[in-house]
Amino acid sequence: MTEAVEQALAEALALLRELPRHRHGERAARARFAQFKTSHPGLPCRLLIEAKPGSDDLDYDILLTIAGAGTAALSWHPDHGIPWTARYADHWAANFVLTINGRSTTIQSALLYLSARLQPRPDLMRDLVDRALLFAAIEDAPPDIGEAELEAAVDTFRMRQRLYSGAAMQQWLDDMQLTMETLQELVAQSLQLEKFKIALVADQMRPHFDAHRRDFDRLTVMRLETKTPASARRLAATWRRSGTCPVLDGKQAPRDASGRLETLFACDLPAAFAGAENGSVIGPVDDGGTFWVGQVLARQAARYDDPTRERIRDLIIDAWLTAQRSKATIHWHWV
């Protein structure tokens, strides 16, 4: 073993003794380890963090890969008078609901996340998988978060939650059984994920638009849904004869028909609409037990504006996540 490796082992052990052992200290621990890693560029190493089930405590291991010899695993546990067998008496997964490629999601973290996402996104289980995959992607090199940036983000969170006073903020923390440090850690994680997404899509946005320009035409369409195919056929025939939606033309639509007027990107519409020209009447189309007839009322050529960039960003990230899910080993602990 070389002197450099021995020195690295000694420094790694000293680092383990200094790392914060509470959950809200994880960000600081990762920053300290990043400094250690930078100071030993020729020695591959990794920090493993274990969140103990039902506890606010963290444990750490450092793995150092020594060329031609193998991997050394270093652990250090402070002695607080609790026997090892008692400390780990619970099942190792008792506080986990999900593990993606070895990274586990705790029940507490899942519940906090689901409470924030319940309204806008119904596919919650896939959201949890995607969140874990994003965290795994930034684990080795998380984006830097400045203190001023974090403080501004926490203030924004408070405003969104309408926590305008210190008392209201403290009451919310008490209700959620969180500390301010834990909240800051959660907000910092959200900032890191957002920075990762920005970096992920930065060089792909304009090329994607140029390659799929027609997908981002904006179509204004009127659709009427009916419950029976016969009703839909009659509606389509009437619509084509007049060239105008019966509802817009002041005519009586079928009693079982319900309609909506919407403007969407071509890529977010059924294929029959996406390539249709102005005035085209589409349908009837069987949509899993409901039947609709529609018409393209207007089509605007694609333009590279903010809404288009936002949609492209989502498509690129969704494609990345789909590829990551296809390669991931996923195990749900509750099924």
Q: What secondary structure does DSSP assign to 65-98, as a single string?
A: EETTTEEEEEE-----S--HHHHT-S-TTTTEEE
Query: What are the start-end ranges of the E strands in the chain?
Result: 45-51, 58-66, 70-75, 96-100, 103-106, 218-226, 258-265, 281-286, 291-300, 330-332
Q: Percent of the chain, pLDDT > 70?
A: 86
What mean pLDDT is predicted for residues 249-266?
70
Mean pLDDT of the chain: 84
* Backbone phi and psi for residue 322, each to the nearest 5 degrees, phi listed first: -60, -45
- pLDDT given for residue 249 in this prediction: 54
* Residue 163 DSSP class: -
User: In angstroms, rounded to a whole number, what is the distance separating the alpha carbons of residues 154 and 188?
Assistant: 9
* Between residues 251 and 162, the one the model is more confident about: 162
- Whether 305 shows a pLDDT value over 90: the answer reads yes
Angle at 196 between CA 192 and CA 202, to 5 degrees: 145
Contact 172, 183 (CB under 8 A): no
pLDDT(88) > 80: no
State yes or no: pLDDT of 147 exceeds 80: yes
What is the rounded distance in angstroms from the CA atom of residue 321 to the CA atom of residue 310?
17
Q: Where in the chain is the domain with CATH 3.10.50?
A: 218-300
* Residue 91 scores a pLDDT above 80: no
Residue 23 to residues 50, 154, 232, Cα–Cα distance (Å) = 10, 18, 58
Task: Give the per-residue pLDDT at 118.
Answer: 64
Read off the DSSP letter of residue 318: H
What topology does CATH give the domain 218-300?
Answer: Chitinase A; domain 3 (3.10.50)
Helix (H, G, I), strand (E, B) or coil at 43: coil
Closest CA to 138 of 205, 197, 63, 203: 197
Q: How many CA atoms lie within 13 A of 276 on its CB side?
A: 22
Distance CA 130, CA 135 (A): 9
Bond before 284 cis per omega within 30 degrees: yes
Task: Please report the pLDDT score of residue 254 as a whole number.
Answer: 55
Coil/strand/helix, residue 20:
coil
Q: Which tens digit of pLDDT belongs to each residue from 13-54?
A: 999 988 988 877 888 888 899 899 989 888 899 998 887 655
Kindly state the DSSP code that residue 179 receives in the 8-state scheme. -
Q: Which amino acid is at 91?
A: H
pLDDT digits (tens, 9 = 90+) for 233-255: 888 888 888 877 776 554 555 55
Q: What is the per-residue pLDDT for 1?
A: 65
pLDDT band at 194 (very low <50, low <70, confident <90, very high): very high
Q: How far is CA 150 from the centre of its chain?
A: 19
Instruction: Yes or no: say if 185 and 106 are a contact pair by the CB < 8 Å rule.
Output: no
